[in-house]
Amino acid sequence: MVRIHFMGLVLAAALASSPSTLAQTAQHSGPAKARAASGKPDFSGVWFITEYRRNLLPKEDPPFQPWAEAVLKKRDLENNQADPDTGPDPTERCIPPGVPRIMLQPFPWEIVHARDRVVMIFEYQSQVRQVFTDGRRHPKDLDPTYMGHSIGRYEGNTLVVDTIGLNDKTWLDPMGLPHSDALHVVERVRRTDHDTLEVNYTIDDAKAYTKTWTAQKIFKLKPDWQIKEYVCSENNEVR
């Protein structure tokens, strides 16, 4: 019930601050005008990854700690032998993909600007992410979760999102890159043009990687799309 209420709040916020007509007409709407007057960038709209790749880093390996590389190799082996949909990937059992993988799935997601936070509504698994932009800090002694705790600040036209408090039950990408509960993700989000959103990820996880590393993903605005319901567990009996 708590979850339902929360979703209701989020959807109410979405309806209040971002008409479904989105960016093309939103620039003429009251919330968009207020947003423009605030001097902060407006990322409202439905976004979709331009090129789906299974790996966060398509061209090279990240600087693995030895155990992390061994885990990836094990997952790869299991993937090659398993029946599709029953392999080692947690999302095949409808486990949430976590951060940053939730953004990399080939499903759209919407950004909604609220007064004190940026809300991301993901079609994949109907997940919701909150990035608090009211100046609060991360709480101490966070209990690790799939989405972690995210705070954001604006640097010019860029939203800088800082996330910690992530559990180690997820993969960094569909390929199976591992991480630990020390994972710290920094995302720099900016519009390179009206229809293009660039997100630069910095992966900081000293338990799993010998140094921080970065990756970039590009998303395109989909003005005609709306986020739809997606119930992952609907048809598990077929699998």
Partner 1 sequence: MKNERVIVFTLAIIVVLVSRPVFAHHSGSAFDLEHPVTLKGTVADFVWSNPHVFISLDAKDDKGNVEQWRVEGNSPNMLARAGWKKEMIKAGDLLSVTGAPAKNGRKILRLVSVMLANGQEFDGQGFK
User: From residue 103 to residue 122, what is the string marking binding to partner 1 with x (rule CB under 8 A)?
Assistant: ---xx---------------
- Quick one: which of 1, 3, 66, 84 contacts partner 1 (CB under 8 A)? 84
Rounded to whole angstroms, what are the CA distances from 92 to 67, 95, 129, 238? 23, 7, 21, 12
Our finding on whether 87 is near partner 1 (CB under 8 A) is yes
User: For the stretch 40-73, what's the b/e string if a residue is b when 16 or more beta carbons lie within 10 angstroms of its beta carbon?
Assistant: ebbbbbbbbbeeeeebbbeeeebebbeebbebbe
User: How many other CB atoms are found less than 10 A from the CB of residue 111?
Assistant: 22
Nearer to partner 1, 165 or 176 (CB): 176
Residue 138 tokens read as 């991360």
Tell the smallest beta-carbon distance from residue 78 to partner 1 (Å): 9
Residues within window 16-55 making contact with partner 1, judged by CB under 8 A? 48-55
Tell me the site size for partner 1, rule CB under 8 A: 41
Nearest distance, CB of residue 141 and partner 1, angstroms:
35
Q: Does 75 bind partner 1 (CB under 8 A)?
A: yes
Bridge partners of 45, per DSSP, are 111
Residue 176 sits in the site that holds partner 1 (CB under 8 A): yes
Say if CB 77 and CB 182 are below 8 A apart.
no
- Evaluate the CA torsion angle 61, 62, 63, 68 in order and state its sign: negative
Which residue ranges make up the site for partner 1 (CB under 8 A)? Answer: 48-55, 57-61, 72-73, 75-76, 79-85, 87, 94, 106-107, 123, 174-176, 225, 228-232, 234-235, 238
